[in-house]
C-alpha cells in the first residue's frame, strides 16, 4: 500500500480508497479479514487513529463489518453495487477526459473517435 504524504488527500482516505479498490476488484474476498489496525498502522508508520478512521470509512460504505476483538472483514459485494461503483469511477474518468480535451482544443467528435479507437485497441489485445 502506498501513502503519499503531500498529495492533499487525507491519509485515511488514501487507505480507504486503496482498500475499496482491492475489495471491488476481488483482491480481498467475502469474509476475508483486513490487516489488523495495529499491524497496518505499524507497517505504514501512521497512527492507529488514522487506521481506525480509514476502516470506519469502509464500514460506512458497507464494504466491511467490524467484529469485536477480531477486526474488520469484507462483506459480500452485491453485483449491482459493484457495477454502480465502477460506473461512478468511469464517469469521473470520462469527465476528466472531457475537461482535458476542452483545454487542448479537441472537439467532441475527435474525443469520441479517440475513445472508439481505444476501445477497439483494448478489444484487440484481449
CATH 1.10.10.10 residue ranges of the chain are 11-74
The DSSP bridge partners found for residue 33 are 73
Q: Which CATH number does the domain 11-74 belong to among 3.90.600.10, 1.10.8.10, 1.10.20.60, 1.10.10.10?
A: 1.10.10.10
The number of beta carbons lying within 10 Å of the beta carbon of residue 14 is: 19
Q: Model confidence over 76-107: pLDDT tens digits?
A: 876 677 777 778 889 999 999 999 999 999 99
Instruction: Report the sign of the C-alpha dihedral through residues 81, 34, 29, 1, in that order.
Output: positive
Q: Model confidence over 10-64: pLDDT tens digits?
A: 999 999 999 998 998 889 988 999 999 999 999 999 999 999 999 999 999 889 9
Q: Which is nearest to 15 in space by CA: 62, 32, 46?
A: 46
pTM equals: 0.64
Amino acid at each position: 500500500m502506498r501513502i503519499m504524504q503531500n498529495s492533499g488527500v487525507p491519509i485515511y482516505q488514501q487507505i480507504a480508497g486503496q482498500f475499496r479498490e482491492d475489495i471491488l476488484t476481488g483482491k480481498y474476498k467475502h469474509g476475508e479479514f483486513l490487516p489488523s489496525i495495529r499491524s497496518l498502522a505499524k507497517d505504514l508508520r501512521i497512527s492507529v487513529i488514522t487506521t481506525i478512521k480509514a476502516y470506519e470509512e469502509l464500514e460506512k460504505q458497507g464494504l466491511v463489518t467490524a467484529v469485536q476483538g477480531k477486526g474488520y472483514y469484507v462483506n459480500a459485494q452485491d453485483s449491482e453495487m459493484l457495477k454502480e461503483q465502477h460506473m461512478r469511477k468511469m464517469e469521473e474518468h470520462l469527465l476528466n477526459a472531457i475537461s482535458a480535451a476542452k483545454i487542448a482544443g479537441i472537439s467532441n467528435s475527435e474525443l469520441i473517435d479517440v475513445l472508439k479507437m481505444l476501445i477497439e485497441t483494448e478489444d484487440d489485445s484481449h
